[in-house]
Amino acid sequence: MPLINLPTFAPDLLADFASLQTERVDTPVIQPAEPFLDMAGEDLRRRIFMTESETGQSLCLRPEFTIPVCLRHIETATGTPRRYAYLGEVFRQRREGGNEFYQAGIEDLGERDVARADARAVHDALFVLGHRLPGRTLKVVLGDQAMFEAVVAACGLPRGWQKRLIHAFGNQDRLRDLLEALSQPISTGVFGPEVERLATLGLLNDEAALSRHIDETMQATGYSTNASRTPADIARRLREKMDLASVRLDVKTAATLRAFLAIEVPLNEAPAALFDFARHAGLAIDEALARFDARAKALVDAGVDPAVITYRSAFGRPLDYYTGLVFEVLADGDPAVLAGGGRFDRLMTLLGATTHIPAVGFSLWLDRIEQAIAQGASA
């Protein structure tokens, strides 16, 4: 039995989903924990309610629907494209609103026209919310994980720093701290005595030799190796740490990244703003620019008013599986996020799909929508 009441507007919500040509699906409340721990990101990982099966398998209460819906699609070997709708309880620690609440949403799997599918996700979220909140002005904040990744790559940073910055995308404080650290002079003694000794032996510039040295040391000391900590893995990680510690941003690159992250404009101005940024910075990001422009045009074609959308280059969402579009929807004058979603093109393969399946979707927070409806009724 649910511990909280389903909002009274839920049946109408399901009718809206049906009108959008979706298939209603459900997933078990008890889920394998590993996919969430591996792929959902630190913000969700620390809020999951964990348990364990009789055989010792790590399980959790369903903290969100995207991963379970994707796993269900893979397990049932259903072809694509498919549009799934869901409505049910999720369980995770929250600072406000309780730890058990209802979410609903749509996952759009396998649509090859990425711009069209992205636009449809934003349109459908606005469509459903508009029916719940007639007369309220809805605002969309839109970001683009792929655009940020393209800018970071074009700046020529080492792969390790690219990974760190990309992982921090959407967390403005963490991203600011990383850029600050990258801009500071290298401190003396940063590598430690053991790394200095390896450098003296000339091993740090030869990964194969470093791997052999680590293997010999592990054998001599009786340190057992395993699949996750092979000598080659340790050598690769050590080299990566060296690269991270020894790289600092030049003034121009630091200014370029900060200029990008400061872009915040209405959607109809965003393609031109990004094009001008790339031209002034001398960055070759034409493919990312073309995808962004195609999405902006597709949003207009889908009937979304670009005046309600703000593009914020530093905006991301706290889930690691996003790869492109990210967005949130709010009611004007209310800071509560009512809907959020984005594109997750790598997730299906990571979960076990044998072919690449592009995917995009969004979730609705039903308790927040219920509060917004009540606020409108009392106004």
Residue boundaries of the structural domains of the chain: 10-151+263-378, 192-246
pLDDT at 377 over 80: no
266-275 core/surface letters (b: 16 or more CB in 10 A; e: else) = ebeebbeebe
Least confident of 5-9, 257-261, 359-363, 368-372: 5-9
> Mean pLDDT, to the nearest integer, of 260-274?
97
Global pTM reads: 0.84
Helix 251-261 × helix 270-281 angle, to 10°:
180
Measured between its terminal Cα atoms, the distance across the chain in Å is 34
The pair phi, psi for residue 318, each rounded to 5°, is -80, 50
Residues 231-257 have pLDDT tens digits of: 666 666 666 665 555 567 788 888 999
pLDDT at residue 187, as a whole number = 47
Is position 95 annotated in a ligand binding site?
no
| Mean pLDDT of the residues in the chain | 87
pLDDT at residue 251, as a whole number = 85
pLDDT at residue 191, as a whole number = 45
Provide the 8-state DSSP code for 153: H
Is position 64 annotated in a ligand binding site?
yes
Amino acid at position 41, single letter: G
* Neighbour-count burial of 47, counting CB atoms closer than 10 A to its CB (0-12 exposed, 13-18 middle, 19+ buried): middle
If pLDDT is split at 50, 70 and 90, which confidence band does 221 have? low
> Mean pLDDT, to the nearest integer, of 22-27?
97
Is position 111 annotated in a ligand binding site?
no
pLDDT at residue 40, as a whole number = 82
pLDDT at residue 212, as a whole number = 73
Residues 311-353 have pLDDT tens digits of: 999 999 878 899 999 999 999 989 999 999 999 999 999 999 9
Whole-angstrom distance, CA of residue 234 vs CA of residue 214: 8
pLDDT at residue 183, as a whole number = 80
CATH number (3.40.50.300, 3.30.200.190, 3.40.1790.10, 3.30.930.10) of 10-151+263-378 reads 3.30.930.10
Whole-angstrom distance, CA of residue 212 vs CA of residue 209: 5
Is position 86 annotated in a ligand binding site?
no
The pair phi, psi for residue 27, each rounded to 5°, is -135, 155
Whole-angstrom distance, CA of residue 218 vs CA of residue 212: 10
Is position 368 annotated in a ligand binding site?
no
Whole-angstrom distance, CA of residue 306 vs CA of residue 43: 30
> Mean pLDDT, to the nearest integer, of 197-206?
55
Q: DSSP H helical segments within 49-191, as ranges?
A: 66-76, 114-132, 145-154, 159-168, 172-183
> Mean pLDDT, to the nearest integer, of 178-204?
59
Is position 66 annotated in a ligand binding site?
yes
The pair phi, psi for residue 317, each rounded to 5°, is -125, 150
Is position 223 annotated in a ligand binding site?
no
Is position 310 annotated in a ligand binding site?
no
Whole-angstrom distance, CA of residue 12 vs CA of residue 18: 10
Residues 121-155 have pLDDT tens digits of: 999 999 999 999 998 999 999 999 999 999 999 99
Whole-angstrom distance, CA of residue 154 vs CA of residue 69: 35
Higher pLDDT, 3 or 298: 298
pLDDT at residue 171, as a whole number = 85
Is position 321 annotated in a ligand binding site?
yes
pLDDT at 224 over 60: no
Radius of gyration of the CA atoms of the chain, in A = 23
* Contacts of residue 144, Cβ cutoff 8 Å, sequence gap at least 6: 288, 292, 311, 313, 324, 325, 326
